[in-house]
Structure 1
Amino acid sequence: MKSLDRKFTLWALAWPIFMELFLQTLLGTVDTLSVSQISDGAVAVVGLSNHLFSAMMTLFMVVASGAGILIAQRIGSQREEDARSLAMLSLKVCGVIGLVLSVFLYTQPGLIAQWLNVPEALIPLAESYIAIAGAGMVFTALSAVLGTALRSTGNTKAPMVVGVVINIVHVALNYAFIFGAFGFPEWGLAGVAVSTLVSKLLGTAILYFIFIEAFHRRIGWKELARYWDRSLLKEVLHIGWPLGINMSAWVLTQLVIYVFLATLGVKELAAKTYMNTLESFCFTLGYAVALALQIQVAHLFGAGRTRDAYKATYKALWIGLAVVTVNALLLFSLGRQLLGIFTDDAQVIAIGISLLGLNLILQPGKMLNMALTNALNAVGDTRYTMVISFVCMWLVATGGSYVLGLHWGWGIVGVYICMIADEYIRGILCLYRWRGQKYLRQAEAEPALGVGLSAREQELVQA
């Protein structure tokens, strides 16, 4: 492989992303630990609400993800002015979507709690948490697109540093608002929501000031406010809408599965929330490798180095598989003690322990799926990943969970078996597609079109 710009090597991209993801996971763990001091019911509310927030995030991640891939491709093809324009456009669009979602969540928490099938006893907690934490969705949208744009330019360190700041603030505010420390009021679960809101606001502000200096020309507020390019937006949506369908399918199926678990009982729901926290530590490094791979492959593809992009994917896959397997083994060995940190409910712990062995099988499948899906997305093959994700997640993961988990009475174990099957089926199908090298061969056969050109520029070249 030819020498690669240092900031686009797998290691240079992956370790800051890992630290950022690890800190995000730590933030979630602190939330779960803090909320568990209130009640297992409060934990269940946070778990359900966060899945709802994730589902809504897909509305702006369509733009953020599509723009991120195109920015990396443009940087690879030495077209930074185009990358800068893409970044400005995506920030404006995502900000508007996030603002609309914030207003809806803040004004309709009761209706949303009913949609989520929240147990009646937990509805007051759910309404409070959804209204306050949901009001910060606009900051989630802005920080998502800002972080994606920065990472796509090869600057993965800035989002990592911001993650450190957010964690420190969030932990301090959690402690203050839940327990009434430092003279603050004792607000319980509402305090966790306020802490989340303030932390997101601070993180967004810091990322914005880094973002406006990220390209060769500083982005001014007036230019950002006035800028609009319909052809670029069309290009972003062309590559982004399948990603949005893919993400929304995952989030919505997870939300439906959570609703299934809610019908099984609060203890199953709490156990799944605790397991989600523990599992996230398993695949965080693997996921960082997969995200770094997407940026690297998009950069190489944009530079016309298709053979290097093909080989880099397998290298990253093997690294990721080794990492997640070791992490899953550690979790299997220490799972009982770790679950005991979150709760002393013997039944919840027993349910969690029953899932630790299945997690050993689940994590390598996740890594296979993440790495190959990201590689395909990086070269623009987003419709293929959308189709197989939509079909598998709804039929295998969700439909199977209903049949095995509820209809056949296998409970949460049946749900996990279906999740495992879904990950491996999608991973194998993506591996088959990547080995076919469809988009790589197309790029090699049509060099005159220029990888990374806009849709309008490609039309002009063809003409």
Structure 2
Amino acid sequence: MEAVTVQNQTTKQKLAIVIALAVPAMIENILQTVVGFVDTLFVAKLGLNEVTAVGVANAILAVYIAIFMAIGVGASSLIARSIGAGDVSKAKSFARQSTILSVMLGLLFGLISLFFSEPLLRLMGAESKVLTDAVAYFRIVAIPSIFITLMFTFGSILRATGDTKTPLKVSCWINLIHIGLDYVLIFGVFGLEGLGVVGAAWATVIVRIIGTFLLFFYIKRSKVSFSLLRTSSKEDTLSILKLSTPTAIERLIMRFGQVLYLGLILRIGTDVYASHLIAGNIETFSYMPGYGLAIAATTLVGQSMGRRQYKDAYQYGMITTVVAIIFMSFIGLLLFFLSPWFATWFTTDKNAIDMVVTALRIDAFAQPGLAVGLVLAGALQGAGDTKGPMYSTAIGMWLIRVMGVFILGIHFEMGIAGVWLSIAMDLYVRAIFQFFRYKKVVLDYSKNGCSLKVDKLE
């Protein structure tokens, strides 16, 4: 999108650019969420053991993905800033090096999956009755991890250039193919026997391979087309790693924190745990606008920083944040008033419905905080600061959320209300932290000048 490189835009023009970049990313996220829901629905038709097997395997994959996504974050920030600075050759170098790092990371995790799949699944609590299906599914999906990490990286490279429409197109096609393959390979068709859980795994792998090659095809036609045969400087590799490492740590802090606080919720009671999961599934859709706008913030802030237009960088971050607050506050209203109806989609138990309603109505008031946190995390990453989101996640998840669940949910026996009040406090603490961090980062750049080196951001 050439518009993102135009200088001296009015606030209205900037708003239009934000929306143009964010909407395709929002739609892509919604599509992925819907397809994940359909995938789970198909597997659920096989039985509860099969659902559990896939769930345990995906819990490990979620840790893999947390690390894989970090390379994309580092690449996205550096490529956007290079393009903003008019240094396309540097952007190509970062795209090439992030691809090489992704290949190496994918092969490493593929080997880990090949040799340690069963011990990893046992470590996650897979029982013997689901272990066979879990191992079969995990090996098929996780050994070719190279395609998972390359899809994330290639999508990030394209978005960093301001092109969010191409990843959306690719996502549309592979998600449609995924649903069709899922049905055929899981259940069979025209007299051919279905493969069950194994079929679901192969459907996932096939669409990832297709998606990887499609995204690479579009990269070859973009302004950052690169050759893997050329070498990049060691400095470029270190820059990507320096930005990616805090992001990987942040995602791992989040994942392990989730495991701990979910364990605390389970101590309160299985009914509270189940109600919390239902509320969480409903709440997932509220993240979609925030994620889409965060992608826009990363690209626009990064390109503005690369052009040394720090006022524009700050304004893009703030405009995107305001748009997110408006979008997600509206979703908050829907959660508040429609929560009784949403809850009945999942259960007919009145006690569970009441707890889901309580959770979602508390969450409705947390939506503005969630909006600020998501978008400013993306804006900070675009500015080259991946440590800020890491710090805010560590503080919010471990000091606020985990401790809050223990104190409010368990000690004061507030149940699910205590759990979701803790989540809300976590979101607002992160939002406040990231607002001041973002303001400080951009101000420091404007005072001291900016280069593509990231060693100034401590």
On the 8 A contact 2:305/2:313 being kept in 1, the answer is: yes
On the 8 A contact 2:81/2:302 being kept in 1, the answer is: yes
AA of the residue aligned to 1:32: T
1:309 counterpart residue number: 313
1:320 counterpart residue number: 324
1:9 aligns to what SS in structure 2? helix
Whole-angstrom distance in 1 between the partners of 2:47 and 2:425: 33
1:151 counterpart residue number: 159
Whole-angstrom distance in 1 between the partners of 2:16 and 2:387: 26
Whole-angstrom distance in 2 between the partners of 1:278 and 1:58: 22
Deviation at 1:20, TM superposition (A): 1.1
AA of the residue aligned to 1:292: A
1:200 paired with 2:208, answer: yes
1:113 counterpart residue number: 121
1:27 counterpart residue number: 35
1:103 counterpart residue number: 111
AA of the residue aligned to 1:101: F
Residues 407 and 372 from structure 1, CA distance in 2 versus in 1: closer, same or farther, beyond 3 angstroms? same
Select 1:247's aligned residue among 236, 251, 257.
251
On the 8 A contact 2:294/2:375 being kept in 1, the answer is: yes
Q: Give the alignment's Cα RMSD to 1 decimal.
A: 3.1
Residues 47 and 258 from structure 1, CA distance in 2 versus in 1: closer, same or farther, beyond 3 angstroms? farther
Whole-angstrom distance in 1 between the partners of 2:107 and 2:353: 39
Q: How does 1:279-298 map to 2 (within 5 A)?
A: 279-298=283-302
2:66 counterpart residue number: 58
Q: Deviations over 1:293-337 (max 9, x none)?
A: 121111111111111221222222121111112123324444455
Q: Deviations over 1:69-112 (max 9, x none)?
A: 01000100100110001001001111111122123234433322
Whole-angstrom distance in 1 between the partners of 2:296 and 2:91: 18
Q: How does 1:406-425 map to 2 (within 5 A)?
A: 412-425=416-429
2:3 counterpart residue number: none
On the 8 A contact 1:28/1:277 being kept in 2, the answer is: no
Residues 406 and 212 from structure 1, CA distance in 2 versus in 1: closer, same or farther, beyond 3 angstroms? farther
Select 2:195's aligned residue among 180, 184, 187.
187
Q: Which segment drifts farther, 317-326 or 258-267? A: 258-267
1:388 paired with 2:392, answer: yes
Deviation at 1:155, TM superposition (A): 1.1
2:222 aligns to what SS in structure 1? coil
Whole-angstrom distance in 1 between the partners of 2:93 and 2:189: 46
- Structure 1 residue runs without a partner (length 5+): 459-463
On the 8 A contact 1:294/1:377 being kept in 2, the answer is: yes
2:143 counterpart residue number: 135
Residues 264 and 188 from structure 1, CA distance in 2 versus in 1: closer, same or farther, beyond 3 angstroms? farther
1:363 counterpart residue number: 367
Residues 182 and 399 from structure 1, CA distance in 2 versus in 1: closer, same or farther, beyond 3 angstroms? farther
Q: Which segment drifts farther, 30-39 or 164-173? A: 30-39
2:447 counterpart residue number: 445
Select 2:226's aligned residue among 216, 219, 227.
219
Q: Given the two structures, how large is their TM-score scaled by the length of structure 2?
A: 0.87
Deviation at 1:232, TM superposition (A): 0.5
Residues 108 and 332 from structure 1, CA distance in 2 versus in 1: closer, same or farther, beyond 3 angstroms? farther
1:175 paired with 2:177, answer: no
1:461 counterpart residue number: none
AA of the residue aligned to 1:383: K
2:84 counterpart residue number: 76
On the 8 A contact 1:44/1:273 being kept in 2, the answer is: no
Deviation at 1:363, TM superposition (A): 2.5
1:181 aligns to what SS in structure 2? coil
Identity %: 27
Residues 398 and 130 from structure 1, CA distance in 2 versus in 1: closer, same or farther, beyond 3 angstroms? farther
Deviation at 1:41, TM superposition (A): 5.3
On the 8 A contact 2:31/2:172 being kept in 1, the answer is: yes
Deviation at 1:386, TM superposition (A): 2.0
Deviation at 1:397, TM superposition (A): 2.1
1:94 counterpart residue number: 102
Deviation at 1:286, TM superposition (A): 2.3
Whole-angstrom distance in 2 between the partners of 1:287 and 1:226: 34
- Structure 2 residue runs without a partner (length 5+): 1-6
AA of the residue aligned to 1:375: A
Deviation at 1:150, TM superposition (A): 0.5
2:195 aligns to what SS in structure 1? coil
1:166 counterpart residue number: 174
Whole-angstrom distance in 1 between the partners of 2:24 and 2:45: 32
1:400 paired with 2:431, answer: no
1:304 aligns to what SS in structure 2? coil
Whole-angstrom distance in 1 between the partners of 2:419 and 2:395: 17
Q: Which segment drifts farther, 310-319 or 346-355? A: 346-355
AA of the residue aligned to 1:281: F
